[in-house]
Amino acid sequence: MTFHYYQNHAQDFFDGTVNVDMTPLYEAFTQHLPHVARVLDAGCGSGRDAKAFHEMGYQVDAFDASSAMVELARQHTGLPVKLTTFSEIDCKAQYDGIWCCASLLHVPSSELPAVMQKLADALKPSGVWYVSFKYGNGERVQGERRFTDLDEEGLRVLLRAVPGIEISLLWATQDNRPDRDETWLNGILRKNAA
């Protein structure tokens, strides 16, 4: 269902998100990265964030599950954006930072612990991980997309299933898009040093 939404509405989604100013969120994330960090943009959508991190000088890998979004992100970023899903991630300790902006929220809550573990495995010790979810509690379908909404307690409960990952910072923000009145839960997570 969600996959088909992005396949069928890729250009609209791209147009609605590609120019959103994400500077405060970038700063909250990049201040924890080493100078020559390797960053994974997981569920990159338009490629807006992957492009920004690439222009900051980081080595960026990006993927999305929608082939239509991947094509637009490749054109926008000039990066070799991969067509893959969260469940297909299979790397160990490769990334200094992982960026999951409004992407994990489409994973069903029953699958989130396993997906979070795969991402945690891909993060280097002491690595930093940004996540965002629509603020709330529970699963819902809106339009053609499914959402898993989390609040602070929901994220804490989820992370109990992911050993070695700790919360550095949680904060709420309002959606920056002009036609949206939504609250987002943002989190900076850290992987234990060893």
Give yes or no for a contact between 52 and 41, defined as CB atoms under 8 angstroms apart.
Answer: no
Strands 38-42 and 59-64 come out as parallel
DSSP helix, strand, coil percent of the chain (3-state; round to 5):
35, 30, 35
SS3 30: helix
| CA–CA distance, 62 with 40 (Å, rounded to integer) | 6
Q: Cα 77–37–18 angle (5° rounding)?
A: 25
Q: What is the pLDDT of residue 40?
A: 98
| CA–CA distance, 9 with 30 (Å, rounded to integer) | 30
CA 193 to chain centre: 22
Strands 123-134 and 138-142 come out as unpaired
Q: What is the pLDDT of residue 177?
A: 67
Q: What is the pLDDT of residue 101?
A: 97
Sign of the CA dihedral with 152 first, then 153, 156, and 158 last: negative
Q: What is the pLDDT of residue 147?
A: 96
Give yes or no for a contact between 37 and 102, defined as CB atoms under 8 angstroms apart.
Answer: no
Q: pLDDT in tens for each of the 194 residues of the chain?
A: 787 888 898 899 888 888 888 999 999 999 999 999 999 999 999 999 999 999 999 999 999 999 999 999 999 999 999 999 999 999 999 999 999 999 999 999 999 999 999 999 999 999 999 999 999 999 999 988 999 999 999 999 999 999 999 999 999 998 776 677 899 999 999 999 97
| CA–CA distance, 86 with 118 (Å, rounded to integer) | 8
| CA–CA distance, 184 with 18 (Å, rounded to integer) | 18
CA end-to-end span of the chain:
39
| The model's pTM | 0.95
